[in-house]
Amino acid sequence: MKVFCGIDWAESHHDIALIDGAGDLVAKRRIKDTADGYGELLQLLADAGDDPADPIPVAIETPRGLLVAALRGTGRKVYSINPMAVARYRERHTVSRKKSDHLDAMTLANILRTDAHAHRPLPDDTELARAITVLARAHQDATWRRTKASNELRSLLREYFPTFLAAFAGRTTNLTSREARAVLAIALTPTAAAQLTRPRIAAALRRAGRQRGIDVLAGQLHQALRQPQLHHPPLVERAMGEQARALLAVLDTECANADRLGETVAEAFHQHPDHKVITSFPGLSDQLGARVLAEIGDDRDRFADARALKAYAGSAPVTRASGRSISITHRTIKNDRLAGAGFVWAFAASTNHEPARAHYQRRRNQGDRHSAALRHLFNRMLGQLFHCLQTSQTYDPDKAFTPTLMTAA
On whether the CB atoms of residues 176 and 255 are closer than 8 A, the answer is yes
| pLDDT of amino acid 11 | 85
pTM, full prediction:
0.86
Closest CA to 81 of 59, 58, 113: 59
Sign of the Cα torsion 112, 299, 140, 344 reads: negative
Amino acid letter at 16?
A: I
What are 259-283's pLDDT values in tens digits? 999 999 999 999 999 999 999 999 9
Q: How far is CA 329 from the centre of its chain?
A: 23
On whether the CB atoms of residues 360 and 328 are closer than 8 A, the answer is no
What are 224-256's pLDDT values in tens digits? 999 999 999 999 999 999 999 999 999 999 999
H or E element, residue 376: helix 370-391
For residues 159 and 1, what is the distance between their CA atoms, to the nearest angstrom?
Answer: 70
For residues 344 and 328, what is the distance between their CA atoms, to the nearest angstrom?
Answer: 24
- Percentage of residues of the chain with pLDDT beyond 90: 70
Mutual orientation of helices 286-296 and 127-160 as an angle, nearest 10°? 120
For residues 203 and 260, what is the distance between their CA atoms, to the nearest angstrom?
Answer: 25
**φ and ψ at residue 15, rounded to 5 degrees:** -100, 130
Torsion of Cα atoms, 241 then 247 then 250 then 256, to 10°: -70
What are 122-160's pLDDT values in tens digits? 999 999 999 999 999 999 999 999 999 999 999 999 999
User: Quick one: pLDDT band at residue 99, thresholds 50, 70, 90?
Assistant: confident
For residues 139 and 174, what is the distance between their CA atoms, to the nearest angstrom?
Answer: 20
On whether the CB atoms of residues 152 and 247 are closer than 8 A, the answer is yes
Q: How far is CA 21 from CA 40, 107, 336, in A?
A: 23, 14, 36
The superfamily CATH assigns to domain 3-116 is ATPase, nucleotide binding domain (3.30.420.40)
Amino acid letter at 387?
A: H
On whether the CB atoms of residues 191 and 231 are closer than 8 A, the answer is yes
What are 6-34's pLDDT values in tens digits? 999 888 889 999 999 888 999 999 999 89
What are 309-358's pLDDT values in tens digits? 999 999 988 888 888 888 878 888 889 999 999 999 999 999 999 999 99
- DSSP-derived secondary structure letter, 118: G
